Amino acid sequence: MTTKKASKPRKQQKNNDYDASKIQVLEGLDAVRKRPGMYIGGTGTEGLHHLVWEIIDNGVDEAAAGYASHIEVVLHKDGSIEVSDDGRGIPIDKKPDGRTALEVVFTELHAGGKFGSGAYSASGGLHGVGASVVNALASKVVAEVDRDGATWRLCFSERVPGNYLKSGSFKASSKLAKVKKIPANRSGTRIRFWPDLEIFDSESRLEYDLIRDHVARVCFLVPGLHIKLHDKRGGGRDAEEFVAAGGLADYVDYLSVGESVTDILTIHEETSFEEKVPVDGKMSTVTRPCTVDIAVRWVQGYEPTTVSFVNTIPTSEGGTHVKGFERALSKVANDVLLKDYRKLKKLAKDDNDRATPSDVQEGLVAAVKVTFPEPQFKGQTKQELGTPAVQGLVYEAMKAGFTDWATGGGRKTQINGLREKMAQAVLNRVLSRQQLEARRKASSLSSNGMPDKLADCRLHGLDSELLIVEGNSAAGPAKQGRDAEIMAVLPLRGKVVNAGKASLKQVVDNTEAQALITAIGGGSGRDFDLEATRYGRIIILCDADVDGSHIRCLLLTLFFHHMKPLLESGRVFAAQPPLFATKIRGEQVYAYTDEEREALSNEHNIELAKWKRFKGLGEMNVDELAETTLNPATRVLKRMTMTDGAEAVQAAELFSVLMGNDVATRKDYIVENSGLIDQALLDI
């Protein structure tokens, strides 16, 4: 055996003119325009709104510090946004370099009054990039300050400071224009800016509802703050005003939907922590005062709602304060509320009696806010708090407050109600897992773990389809007419359980529901994983009669309650099979409604008696079913939405009343709704 000596890899010939001239230094606000996503999260609608938040939040910080009580936000027809407040007004005196503080705030990154022991003990941001980033990403900015007995103005055109002359031309200058005299005790700031449309995506829009939600939320964070919102872009919308006095408790009450399990529990804790920060160029330990405010309530329902804030800034991604809050919830729930609870004793043998965070937070509505100077955020957009010490402070505050409530501070009926709710969540989760495991072992599943009645396809993924059909009569032609490469067929041999009324156990025990959940492959409930689904489209093939409508409603109700992401992502469809067929000059023609059949009959002079009426999909031969319902090129599908799902839930309830075995309930319904029926048709 001979070996060949390995040769050294040859260096590729490259352009070797990499020198100092290739090193760029981005001056002033160029860095923001080069990488706007680093500062505002992106150049879409979210980033556009972030500019508005930055200016609004400057006024909110003034209010939180006790210097302002009113903010006004105006959306102008020309696409500009104007925000005014009655705070102290941005300083207009000069810095050592001759520029005013107002100019510096709008032209220098990391310049502001929110650092260290500056003008704010606690504010929405420490980065000092808010106003300057807005200027960097705007084509024009007009800043007016009421201060020292006068209104002062400084404009920015393409980030250059100056003012507009009466002729309309722009004159670059650092000198402030004195607009008018005002009372000496009047102060405030007005900022109007025009976003640079070349920076933002063409489909980006300022959405009134998003801005409305933001200012409403801000009022809950700063009790007593009054905000007025105008939309002058057209549409006849009146100005709205917002003010709240109850703080986070009012916010939790506002967010609560459905019947309450508990009253609102509020926790307020003033504490402190130490951290190392640079002071005069050296790392030093400083003490930070920190206020923890929490409001919580549980309601009947499943989905949790937790909003969090640092000072006055919403942290949509949570952070250390939310982690501390959630740790405390689970700790008290397991060690106090559910400890030795009789309902969970059977689960304790297998160590299944501990509640998970999702069990504890089922139906939770909570608001968590921490207030302290110079918070550390993960990223410029300030959506996630990173200050480590805050986690422990929130944990201790929530643990103490929740424990006091659970050990007698709250109403006994509410404590027991919450204990029962959490225990039931644990039982449902454990039962669901056990049932699913049992089903996989059941004889109804084939060797590959799928229902034995499933005629599966060879390829799975976004291009594949699961066809759900009524019974074997429709399944036969569907299996023969499908494209077996990408189309699977699952026949239903009985009614699917009404998931809107059934318990989780009843859903899991229902053979047809379990076959669907198993075949789709994404699981069910809160653990449903859209990425794990085996098919890109779920297509319901039902007869165009009352029974078909009922089955379709039951299927949509099951998806709505237990596989909701399928509807949210537009993966569920209903096939629209024809009702009639005939031949016109030897060609097969279909009609989907009585009106369409009549129109075709009149157009081609065909007697109605010559039309074939399909009573169900099972009456179609393979070719007819393939052409009208299976072939992607000729079939008609209707995409099912969340609205369709919600309507199906109501329809399924109505079907249960009108077609169920409870005669008394059906009679009551008919009597109550008799006004909707033509009395002449009733034989009473």
The whole-angstrom separation of Cα 570 and Cα 72 is 40
Residue 253 annotated in active site? no
| 66: enclosing H helix or E strand | none
Contact of 367 with 223, CB cutoff 8 Å: no
Burial of 531 (0-12, 13-18, 19+ CB in 10 A): exposed
Contact of 499 with 562, CB cutoff 8 Å: yes
Contact of 267 with 292, CB cutoff 8 Å: yes
Contact of 408 with 263, CB cutoff 8 Å: no
Q: Which residues pair with 73 in a beta bridge?
A: 83, 229
The whole-angstrom separation of Cα 497 and Cα 372 is 53
Sorted by sequence, the CB contacts under 8 Å of residue 607 that are 6+ apart come out as: 601
Sorted by sequence, the CB contacts under 8 Å of residue 533 that are 6+ apart come out as: 520, 521, 522, 566, 571
Given the residues 470, 512, 624, 644, the one annotated as active site: 470
Sorted by sequence, the CB contacts under 8 Å of residue 189 that are 6+ apart come out as: 58, 59, 84, 85, 87, 89, 90, 143, 144, 145, 146
The residue among 35, 43, 49 whose CA lies nearest residue 316 is 49
Residue 683 annotated in active site? no
The residue among 255, 257, 230 whose CA lies nearest residue 242 is 230
Given the residues 231, 359, 543, 624, the one annotated as active site: 543
User: What does the block give as tokens for 204?
Assistant: 């980006």
The owner of tokens 């102008």 is 76
User: What does the block give as tokens for 254?
Assistant: 């506002």
Residue 470 annotated in active site? yes
| 15: enclosing H helix or E strand | none
Query: Dihedral (C-alpha) 521, 524, 526, 531: value to the nearest 10 degrees?
Result: 20
Given the residues 158, 207, 241, 545, the one annotated as active site: 545
Q: Which residues pair with 272 in a beta bridge?
A: 289
Given the residues 384, 404, 547, 653, the one annotated as active site: 547
What are the start-end ranges of the H helices in 222-356?
248-255, 320-332, 345-348
Strand locations in 243-310, DSSP E? 265-279, 282-298, 305-310
Distances (CA, A) of 83 to 148, 352, 576: 21, 54, 52
DSSP code of 632? T
Catalytic residues: 470, 543, 545, 547
